[in-house]
Structure 1
Amino acid sequence: MSHLISVNVLDSATRLAAQTFLTAVPLIFVVASLAPQALREQLLNSLHHVFGLSGTVDEELRKTLLNTGDPSDEVRQTTGFVSTLMVLIAATACSRAMQRLCERAWSMPGASARVAAWRWLAWLAAWLLMIGVQGSLRDGFGLGLWLGVPLLLLAEVFLWWWTQHLLLTARVPWLPLLPGALLTGAALGVLTATASLYVPRALNHSLAKYGSLGAVFTLLSWLITLCVVITLCVTAGAVVAREPWAARHLGTPAPADSPGPRSGDTLEGGPRPNEPPPE
């Protein structure tokens, strides 16, 4: 509990959810305007499998992603190389938010941008790929749920294992990161499997009653729920990996000593700078 308080779960989760939303919406328009038809259909299929979309929301998403007009249509006119580049640069804010979460969970200082910059883009590309193939994974590549569910769970666990290792800039060995990956992959697998029971109805109701702002609120609420679960699981995994019985088997490195006060800091009840200690 003390570690969860130090990580500040709600603050971290809310920031991550906001950055995810601000990344996802522009990227959907970029994909809709520049990606080939097969890729757009694959993305739409994955979103259907993840959220079970139907009704008005499904129609709006299909209209956006499967816009098959000529290159002079409105979306293609407003999206070019420069705007795509700007969207990708802005999207790294989501990667940075996830990196800060991992560093807080493991009580580590922030990595320098020179070391971490390429990792932000690599993480973003991996997650875009995962979202694109999630529909095929869930369906077991046409063989059914008996194969799809285990495949999706393994993919989630591996992706979260790799995510921590990548964004922590390899400062933590692989094995200590496994508890967090198992917890996060299993929890998100359950949440995404049950999303179709709530998300489609909530989105359609919000869109019908409050318009697009209602749908935005519903989607953000769902993203915050997902990000709270991610924050709890990654943090709990770091705590478990540092328990003595687990640290012996996983080879968890000892936590770095907390830095002392910086120059100019004062401690409560202690001497001030340039002030002799009391006799």
Structure 2
Amino acid sequence: MIGSSPPLDDRPLPEQDGRGPSGGLRHRLAEVAREVWQRGREIELLHRAMAFAALCFVTVVPLLVVIAAASPTSGSGIADWMIDGLGLSGRSAAAVDELFASRREVVSTTTGLSLAALAVFGVSLMAAVQNAYERIWRVPPGAWHTVWRQVVGLGGLIGYVLVAEWSGVPWRHTGAQPTLRVAATLVGGVLFFWWLQRLLLGSRMPWRTLLPGAVATVLALVGLRVFSRLAFAPLIVSNAVSYGVIGTVLVVQSWLIGVGYCVYAGALTGHALHRAPTPRRRGLR
């Protein structure tokens, strides 16, 4: 009709359709969670986490046992790191500690050939992690001559675990010791996983893009520690009574699968955060 006003658009305004500041954040987190779930199925996250746990237990853990036994610190070696990662104490901590031989037995029975073999096979863990990072970030596989990156990555992993284990030794039973342990574990963990992604991916991904994945990995490991304290600690005690050492090994292996999940899911979260549009990038439609 001439002179009548045009029909009004009855669509809600941006601040009224749940896409305000809080609604936009929820929408973005939902997008990130959806992409992590889909990409996790695409790269077969469960199989990769199980392979990570198997390679850790067969190659890296024995190598860490030998290196920690030869170190001059007064800790209990790699057992301290596992006990802290699982959040154990009392009987459950003692059950895990019994899995490892004493320092004197480890050093006296280790040969140079066996140590070299463990180091060579330990590189396969870094190769698996590099392949997973390349699939997550959708970059072409690295050339064969970049195997030195895997060797350096293995050395960095061993160094991080030893520093995290050593952080429980100085100033024991003082107020400063927990601060040192938290700083070495959390801050050192963020720096390590940030550096590890950059090392294995090379210059194909910039530093700032990889930082959210490193933070997400450490946060996932913190959540795994809380879950382990609630679920794995009583399970270790009951399994140790029912099945002996084998029961404890199964729980430790399950925890290592969880660590593999955290490592890969953290990188997936970083990739999803990089791809998810922010409200400013999305704009008003």
TM-score range, shorter chain: 0.7 to 0.9
How large is the Cα RMSD of the aligned pairs? 3.0
Q: Could you tell me whether the CA contact under 8 Å between 2:210 and 2:270 is conserved in 1?
A: yes
Q: Among residues 113, 127, 130, which one is paired with 1:96 in the alignment?
A: 127
Q: Among residues 67, 71, 82, which one is paired with 2:113 in the alignment?
A: 82
- Residue identity over aligned pairs, in percent, reads 25
Which stretch of the first structure deviates more once superposed, 200-209 or 93-102?
200-209
1:224-263 to structure 2, matched below 5 A, reads 224-245=257-278
State the 1:172 CA deviation. Answer: 0.6
Size of the aligned set, in residue pairs, is 240
User: Do the aligned partners of residues 39 and 151 (structure 1) sit closer, same or farther apart at CA in structure 2, a change above 3 Å counting?
Assistant: closer
User: Do the aligned partners of residues 220 and 63 (structure 1) sit closer, same or farther apart at CA in structure 2, a change above 3 Å counting?
Assistant: closer
Q: Could you tell me whether the CA contact under 8 Å between 1:99 and 1:168 is conserved in 2?
A: yes
Aligned equivalents of 1:47, 1:220: Cα separation in 2 = 11
State the 1:39 CA deviation. Answer: 6.6
SS at match of 2:202: coil
Structure possessing the higher radius of gyration over alpha carbons: 2
Aligned equivalents of 1:118, 1:177: Cα separation in 2 = 21
| Structure of higher RCO (CA pairs closer than 8 Å, 6+ residues apart) | 2
Match of 1:49 in 2: 84
Q: Which runs of 5+ in 1 are unaligned?
A: 249-279
Aligned partner letter, 2:161: I
Q: Could you tell me whether the CA contact under 8 Å between 2:123 and 2:151 is conserved in 1?
A: yes
1:172-230 deviation digits (Å, cap 9, x = unpaired): 11011111111111221232355344434322322321133322221221111222232
User: Do the aligned partners of residues 24 and 212 (structure 1) sit closer, same or farther apart at CA in structure 2, a change above 3 Å counting?
Assistant: farther
Q: TM-score, normalised to structure 2's length?
A: 0.71
User: Do the aligned partners of residues 140 and 233 (structure 1) sit closer, same or farther apart at CA in structure 2, a change above 3 Å counting?
Assistant: farther
Aligned partner letter, 2:49: A
State the 1:139 CA deviation. Answer: 8.1
Match of 2:28 in 1: none
Q: Which runs of 5+ in 2 are unaligned?
A: 1-34
Q: Could you tell me whether the CA contact under 8 Å between 1:203 and 1:215 is conserved in 2?
A: yes
Match of 1:215 in 2: 248
Aligned equivalents of 1:183, 1:130: Cα separation in 2 = 17
Aligned equivalents of 1:217, 1:42: Cα separation in 2 = 20
Aligned equivalents of 2:52, 2:95: Cα separation in 1 = 28
Q: Could you tell me whether the CA contact under 8 Å between 1:47 and 1:53 is conserved in 2?
A: no
Aligned partner letter, 2:102: L
Aligned partner letter, 1:225: G
Matched, 1:152 2:185: yes
Q: Could you tell me whether the CA contact under 8 Å between 2:123 and 2:150 is conserved in 1?
A: yes
Aligned equivalents of 2:93, 2:185: Cα separation in 1 = 25
State the 1:162 CA deviation. Answer: 0.7
Q: TM-score, normalised to structure 1's length?
A: 0.73
State the 1:146 CA deviation. Answer: 4.8
1:43-192 to structure 2, matched below 5 A, reads 43-51=78-86, 52-55=88-91, 58=94, 61=97, 64-68=100-104, 75-76=106-107, 78-115=109-146, 117-137=147-167, 143-146=176-179, 148-192=181-225
